[in-house]
Chain A
Amino acid sequence: MILWLTLLFPLASAILLLAFRNARAAARTALVAGAAEVVLLGSCAWKLHVYGVLAQGRYLRADGLTLFFLINLGLIFTVVLVYSTGYLRHVPGGRFSSPRWYYALLFLFLFTLLAAYLSSNLGVLWIAIEATTLASALLVGFYNTEGAVEAGWKYLIMCTVGIAFALFGTIALYLAAVRAGVPTSAALDWTVLMAASPGLNAAGALLKLAFVFVIVGYGTKIGFVPMHSWLPDAHADAPAPISAMLSAVLLNCAMYALLRMEAITSHAIGTGFSHALLLAFGGLSLIAAVFLMIVQRDLKRLLAYSSIEHMGIVALGVGIGGPLGLSGALLHAFNHSLAKTLLFFTTGKVRDTFGTLRIDRIRGMASVLPYTSAILIVGGVALAGLPPFGLFISEFTILISAFAGSHYVLAVLMLVAFSIGFGALFFHLQRMLSGEPHASRGGIKILASEAGAMCVCGVCLLVLGLYIPPAFTSMLHNAMAVLQ
């Protein structure tokens, strides 16, 4: 019951929100609905904590891995919603670009993400992941400018084609399962497939084919190089809170889908094949992204490439495997989402003040926007993987696992890439922070809602860097136990 309620409540809220033409009323209703959804998610998490696994009907199921990603989603969605209420003061005109559409689409986006996390069936999972693209496309194109329309178009076309490959992979897996004697009605059920995976060994070639299509398909949504080209455009031209949602939640959601598929593949035919592919895509994304970060001229595009970099690191962690690699990867996905949300929130302020996000046109930010600059530096330090923030711990864990697994070349490659990424990030940041401002601009005050949202992200990052609570550790272990 609780699963259905948690899933359908955002959908109902989205429909309800469309009735509010007044911007203030829409924002207030969205906050109330968001609070209610957080309560639902909390009780869902509590029940999961007590019972371990929740299942409802044939299509809904939640386990330890779901819980981990649900907490991530709930946290980021809450801060994004709170930040949005302050951010959405000046909206462009036009159809689908009003506050009520913004909030309605945001809740619809939440609904599709929840559907992906709570589905027990790989077919439903695919439908939900495709629906995330559909729900967020209009949000990406929200500003209706040339760039936003182009980014929205590219996002919709590229992700739909990419995801079509994942459908092909899912069909191939289904074929393998049906041929191995799994009844057709259950042949897409994840738990059934996990239980039957040793028997799928005979159809090894088909499973490999399936996994190649799935990694290309879901990899398009994760932003793996070379299928990444939609990602910087969509992140750069979406409103700041939506960029945060894309980078922090959507990429993780696609990664979650890939993790589920990977678990079945590696159980059936051994970890060799899937891990090699993950290492290849992860390594390529990491290397390409850090070099592309150097030449960026737009702050949000810089952050978008950094998302590709970090998703590459997560893929490397999963690909190295073992308890250490996997725990590092999951922790990294969590930490990255917090750091990236924090940074995208600051870009909203920068654009409000300077009217642009072009790095070469922003000078003297430290004197115009002292608080925002401080947050930008904190976020930058966290993102670069320096202590005392969470990303240091997770990157370090993945590095240790690389050394422990005797992947020396990979470990050295990662260290080099980390330093290039760090250099690129701070090269651009110091250019914006230092110098004299072009004109005497008044800094825009940070609203209480924005400050609160950023504080939550910062504090969580700091806590995960200094002392990981035992409850979090046990949650992480439960998540890993599902996959192993």
Chain B
Amino acid sequence: MGLVEFAAAKTLASSAVFLFITVLLMAAAKRTNRCIKLFAIQCAVITAQIAALAFMRHSAEAFAVAALVFLVKVIAIPYALLRISRQLKVTPAVVVSTTPVQSVFIVAGLMLLAFAVVQPYARAFALDSEMLAAATAIILTGGFLMISRKKALMQVIGLLVLENGIFLAALTTTFGMPFVIEMGIFFDLLVCVLLLGIFVFRIRETFEHVDVSRLRRLKG
């Protein structure tokens, strides 16, 4: 076994663990900027995983997807988010409705839940149950971040984490969707982040704060 094969196999074997660590650290993070960086790391792990898979299966398409993930999710989106966060000039704290300790426990609970729910599907379709559980846990954590964090920017990060989970689920179950579809999804995601950025600034201009939980005019 060559060195590259060894590296690829190790990457595939250990990426689930790294993903779980990023998710837990996100739950514990006290600053928005740290969350953005953790998101970039999470995407880097996914990039490594796609690249490893691409190498094992000799798929040029998958290498292209890996490059795209790297450019869009590891570089472009975190860069844009960090820029927005700097320009907003609001306090860097994430403003949570749960303490970091509680958040970590809740996310750990979500992981256990994820492991429990994916077992039957993993068995029926002969899939890697750890990766499937990691994908499900990331989806659930994204949802949890969106509900519990009050800053507009943190909701964007929650959404991106959730999308990461779905992407990972597609990767583990079907080795990704056809390339054209992946491209379209990336494009949508990029435009979505752009638009959300525009709206974050508008919220700040019109309300002079970015606390989404105080957006309560429209009800009923």
What residues make up the interface of A, taking CB atoms closer than 8 Å to B?
A: 59, 96, 121, 123-124, 126-127, 130-131, 134, 137-138, 141, 144-147, 149-154, 156-157, 160-161, 164, 167-168, 171-172, 174-175, 178-179, 184-185, 188, 205-206, 209, 232-233, 236-237, 292, 295-296, 301
Contacts and interface: CB of A to CB of B under 8 A. Distances in A.
Contacts of A175: 125, 173-174
B199 A171 contact: no
A364 B89 CA distance: 49
Nearest to A170: B177
B3 interface: no
Interface residues on B, range: 35 or more
21 contacts: A127-B187, A137-B199, A138-B195, A144-B206, A149-B206, A153-B152, A156-B195, A156-B196, A160-B192, A161-B143, A164-B163, A167-B166, A171-B169, A171-B174, A175-B125, A175-B173, A205-B124, A206-B121, A232-B220, A237-B218, A295-B220
Contacts of B188: 127, 130-131, 134
A185 B125 contact: no
A138 B198 contact: yes
B104 interface: no
Given A156-B192, A161-B159, A171-B169, A185 B217 contact: no
B212 A185 contact: no
A283 to B, nearest CB: 21
B125 A188 contact: no
Contacts of A141: 199, 202
Contact of B218 (A131, A150, A188): A150
A376 B80 CA distance: 47
Given A171-B170, A174-B174, A161 B185 contact: no
B110 to A, nearest CB: 16
Given A153-B199, A236-B218, 17 more contacts: A96-B198, A121-B181, A123-B180, A130-B192, A134-B195, A137-B195, A145-B206, A146-B206, A149-B202, A153-B152, A153-B203, A167-B166, A168-B169, A171-B170, A172-B173, A174-B177, A232-B218
Nearest to B162: A164
A150 B146 contact: no
A161 to B, nearest CB: 6
A151 B217 CA distance: 10
Nearest to A127: B184
Contacts of B174: 171, 174-175, 178, 184
Interface string B59-80: 0000000000000000000000
A146 to B, nearest CB: 5
Contacts of A121: 181
B125 A179 contact: yes
Given A134-B192, A153-B212, A188 B178 contact: yes
Contacts of A124: 180-181, 184
B166 A164 contact: yes
Contacts of B49: none
A157 B173 contact: no
A131 B191 CA distance: 9
A138 B169 CA distance: 31
B215 interface: yes
B105 interface: no
B32 interface: no
Contacts of A236: 218
Contact of A146 (B121, B173, B178, B207): B207
- Leading 10 A-B pairs by shortest Cβ distance: A123-B181, A127-B184, A233-B218, A171-B170, A149-B202, A130-B188, A150-B215, A153-B199, A175-B173, A149-B206
A152 B199 CA distance: 8
B39 to A, nearest CB: 16
B141 interface: no
Contacts of A96: 198
B42 interface: no
A131 B192 CA distance: 9
Contact of A154 (B178, B187, B218): B218
Contact of B177 (A137, A138, A153, A171): A171
Interface in B171-214: 173-174, 177-178, 180-181, 184-185, 187-188, 191-192, 195-196, 198-199, 202-203, 206-207, 212
A327 B199 CA distance: 41
B33 interface: no
Contacts of A232: 218, 220
A8 B162 CA distance: 32
A138 B195 CA distance: 8
A185 B179 CA distance: 9
